[in-house]
Amino acid sequence: MSPRAKSRYSSKSALRARAAVLVAGMGASLALGAGVALAADTAQSNSALSVAPAGDLGKSVQAQADALQKAIDAEKAAAKKAAAEKAAKEAAAEKKAAELAAAKKKAAEEAAAKAKKAAEERQKAAEAAKKAAEAKARSWETPVASYSIGAAFGLAGNLWAHNHSGQDFVVPSGTSVRAAHGGVVVKAGGNGAGDGPAYGNAIVIKHDDNTYSQYAHLSQVKVWVGQTVTTGQEIGLSGSTGNSTGPHLHFEIRTTPNYGSAVEPLAFLRSHGVKV
């Protein structure tokens, strides 16, 4: 039992004891008054003097009883008020705890929603990048970004043993040459990569539709046989090696990896959506 509870219990015990004493005293006083009255009747003298003190004593006892009752009522009211205050504090604490829990739950839900949205956005970005990569893999490009059109396919002249087998893109020496379409390198190196010294340094790439692209007169070859390349990937640098009158890129589209199977390259590129 707490000190406060012990004090309250002791106070109540004292009040009860006082009430018991007062009740006992009242009983004794009443008995005494009755005795005095009986003696007065018997002796027929001093009756006023004997009865009067008994009446005063009764009033005193009643007053003390009333005061004690008020004290008991006050103690009960104080206890009730304390209990109500305690209940109010406990209810306020519970409400605060519930509000805190609700705030934490809301914060967690908002964080989860934010994380989910971020994950969805990353997923969308990844899917978009994948689609773009797939579209690029299906697409074709010109083998150089900026150029002037040179000697055309099929052109006759004393510069070639036969009619011109490709399309020339006139660019400065050292210009980045890129794969017109993704595929696998099947030829790379000097001597036309096996097609003859007239081509100088050359590269041939096999594509997924069983067509081949050739890049000749390069100053530098940056790929090797068996390497997989993607559309737009740099594969070499332009130059003027082999039978060349100046820096340019000789570009062919072939049906086989070898010389003699070329088709008109510009028409081919345009049929695949390339603006040339």
Residues 6+ apart with CB under 8 A from 274: 140, 141, 142
Any domain includes 126: no
Any domain includes 48: yes
Same domain for 86 and 182, yes or no, is no
Domain count, the chain: 2
Q: What is the C-alpha to C-alpha distance for residues 230 and 137, in angstroms, rounded to an integer?
A: 7
Any domain includes 53: yes
CATH number where 216 lies: 2.70.70.10
Any domain includes 243: yes
Same domain for 77 and 11, yes or no, is yes
84-135: pLDDT as tens digits: 999 999 999 999 999 999 999 999 999 999 999 999 999 999 999 988 877 8
Q: What is the C-alpha to C-alpha distance for residues 82 and 17, in angstroms, rounded to an integer?
A: 24
Same domain for 158 and 264, yes or no, is yes
156-196: pLDDT as tens digits: 766 555 688 999 999 999 999 999 999 999 999 999 999 99
Any domain includes 251: yes
Catalytic pick among 164, 181, 217, 248 = 248
Same domain for 88 and 11, yes or no, is yes
Query: Domain span at residue 61?
Result: 3-96
**Residue 90 to residues 83, 84, 138, 165, 206: CA-CA distances in angstroms?**
10, 10, 71, 95, 81
Any domain includes 103: no
Same domain for 153 and 76, yes or no, is no
Query: Taking the model in full, what pTM does it have?
Result: 0.57
Same domain for 83 and 193, yes or no, is no
User: Across all residues in the chain, what is the average pLDDT?
Assistant: 84
207 given a catalytic annotation: no
* Cross-strand partners of 262: 254
